[in-house]
C-alpha cells in the first residue's frame, strides 16, 4: 500500500519528536546522575609527629689537666671504664737542686740555733751573784727570744723541705665515673672522661619550638640498632644557635637516655604535636568540618582551631580516628549522603 505524502511527513515528524524526547531524557538523566555522583575526598584524623634528627652525647665530659708533663706511670688505656677518684697516672718532677738548697739553709739555721744555745748558757753561768743575775737578765731574755725564733724558722724550713720532696710526685685521679679517651701528642697524653650518663641532643627550628616544648614525652630511635626508648626533654635552650638552617633560627635541646646508647650515635627524635592537624581546606566558614559517617552521610561538626604552616590545628570538637571531608563545597548539607573517592 502506498502511503500518502502527508502521512510520510507526519511519520517523519513524529519520529524526530521521539528522537528528541529520547535525547532529552538521556541527557537529563546523565546531568542528574553527574550531580549526584560528585565524589569527595576524605581523611582519617590523627595527631601528627614532629620528627627531628640528633645524636648521642655524654651528659658530662671532663678534659683533665695534667699536674706535669713528666709522666712516671700511666695506669689506664683508651676505652677503659673508670670510677670517680680512680688513679689514672703519676708524674715525677725532679727537684734535687731545690732540695739541696733547702738542706743547706736548714744546716745554716741549725748552726745559728747552736750559737744561740751556747750564748745563752754562757750568760747564765756568768750570772752567779744576785746583782749580776739582775744585770744579765736583759741579755738572757734577748738571746732566749732569738733562740725561739730561730727554732720556729728551722721547723718551717723542714716543713718546706718535706713539701718540696713530696711535690715531686703527683697523682691524677678521675673526677667522675665514665669511659676514658687517651690521645698522645709529642709523647704527652691527653685524657678526657665521658660520663656513663647520656643525652640525646639535637636542634629544633623556631617553627617547631613550642610543639617540642609542650610535648610530655619524646621517642628516641637509634636507626643502626633499632633501639627505642621514651624520655622527656630535659633542657630546651631559649637562646638560638649561632648558625641557622634555611633562614630559620635553631635552638638546641637535650633529653636523658640510657647509657647503652653509643656516644656519637645517630638518632631519630620523635614527639607528638598537640592537637589534630587537618588541611585548612577542610574547614567550612572557619567554623566547622563535615564528618563522614559509616552510613555514607555527613555530619556538620563545629570546631575551634589555630592555623600553622598551612594546616588547621584543631583544639576542640574533633577527636582522632574519624573521617572528614577534605574538599567540601556548597552542595554539602548536614545528614546528606555523599559519594567518596576510593
27 pLDDT band (50/70/90 cuts)? low
Maximum C-alpha span of the chain: 193
34 pLDDT band (50/70/90 cuts)? very low
> Using CA atoms, how far apart are residues 242 and 328, in angstroms rounded to an integer?
45
Q: What is the mean pLDDT of residues 302-331?
A: 92
Give the HSE-up count for residue 303: Cα atoms under 13 Å, Cβ half-sphere: 27
Confidence (pLDDT) at 204: 94
What is this structure's pTM?
A: 0.61
Nearest alpha-carbon partner for 112 in 157, 155, 146: 146
pLDDT at 68 over 80: yes
**What is the separation of C-alpha 322 from the centre of its chain, rounded to a whole number of angstroms?**
36
* pLDDT tens-digit readout, 153-180: 999 999 999 999 999 999 999 999 999 9
Strands 39-40 and 339-340: parallel
Confidence (pLDDT) at 30: 47
Strands 248-257 and 244-245: antiparallel
Confidence (pLDDT) at 214: 82
pLDDT at 2 over 60: no
* pLDDT tens-digit readout, 111-167: 999 999 999 888 888 776 555 666 678 888 899 999 999 999 999 999 999 999 999
Amino acid at each position: 500500500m502506498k502511503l500518502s505524502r502527508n502521512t510520510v511527513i507526519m511519520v517523519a515528524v513524529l519520529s524526530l519528536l521521539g528522537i528528541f524526547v529520547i535525547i532529552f531524557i538521556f541527557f537529563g538523566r546523565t546531568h542528574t546522575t553527574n550531580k549526584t555522583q560528585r565524589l569527595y575526598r576524605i581523611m582519617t584524623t590523627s595527631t601528627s609527629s614532629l620528627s627531628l634528627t640528633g645524636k648521642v652525647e655524654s651528659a658530662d665530659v671532663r678534659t683533665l689537666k695534667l699536674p706535669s708533663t713528666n709522666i712516671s706511670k700511666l695506669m689506664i688505656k683508651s676505652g677503659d671504664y673508670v670510677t670517680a677518684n680512680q688513679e689514672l697516672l703519676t708524674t715525677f718532677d725532679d727537684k734535687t737542686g731545690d732540695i739541696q738548697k733547702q738542706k743547706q739553709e736548714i744546716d745554716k739555721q741549725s748552726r745559728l740555733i747552736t750559737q744561740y744555745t751556747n750564748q745563752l748558757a754562757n750568760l747564765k753561768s756568768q750570772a752567779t751573784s744576785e746583782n749580776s743575775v739582775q744585770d744579765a737578765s736583759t741579755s738572757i731574755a734577748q738571746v732566749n727570744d732569738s733562740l725561739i725564733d730561730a727554732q720556729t724558722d728551722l721547723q718551717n724550713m723542714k716543713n718546706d723541705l718535706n713539701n718540696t720532696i713530696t711535690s715531686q710526685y703527683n697523682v691524677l685521679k678521675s673526677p667522675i665515673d665514665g669511659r676514658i679517651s687517651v690521645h698522645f701528642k709529642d709523647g704527652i697524653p691527653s685524657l678526657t672522661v665521658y660520663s656513663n650518663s647520656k643525652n640525646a641532643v639535637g636542634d629544633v627550628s623556631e617553627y617547631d619550638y613550642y610543639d617540642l616544648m609542650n610535648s610530655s614525652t619524646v621517642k628516641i630511635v637509634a636507626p643502626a640498632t633499632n633501639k627505642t626508648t621514651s624520655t622527656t626533654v630535659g633542657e630546651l635552650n631559649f637562646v638560638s644557635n649561632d648558625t641557622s638552617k634555611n633562614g630559620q633560627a635553631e635552638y638546641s635541646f637535650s633529653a636523658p637516655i640510657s647509657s647503652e646508647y653509643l656516644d656519637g650515635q645517630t638518632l631519630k627524635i620523635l614527639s607528638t604535636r598537640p592537637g589534630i592537624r587537618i588541611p585548612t581546606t577542610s574547614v567550612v566558614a572557619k567554623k566547622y568540618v563535615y564528618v563522614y559517617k559509616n552510613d555514607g552521610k555527613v555530619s556538620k561538626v563545629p570546631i575551634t582551631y589555630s592555623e600553622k604552616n598551612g594546616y588547621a590545628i584543631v583544639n576542640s570538637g574533633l577527636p582522632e580516628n574519624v573521617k572528614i571531608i577534605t574538599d567540601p563545597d556548597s552542595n554539602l548539607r548536614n545528614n546528606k549522603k555523599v559519594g567518596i573517592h576510593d
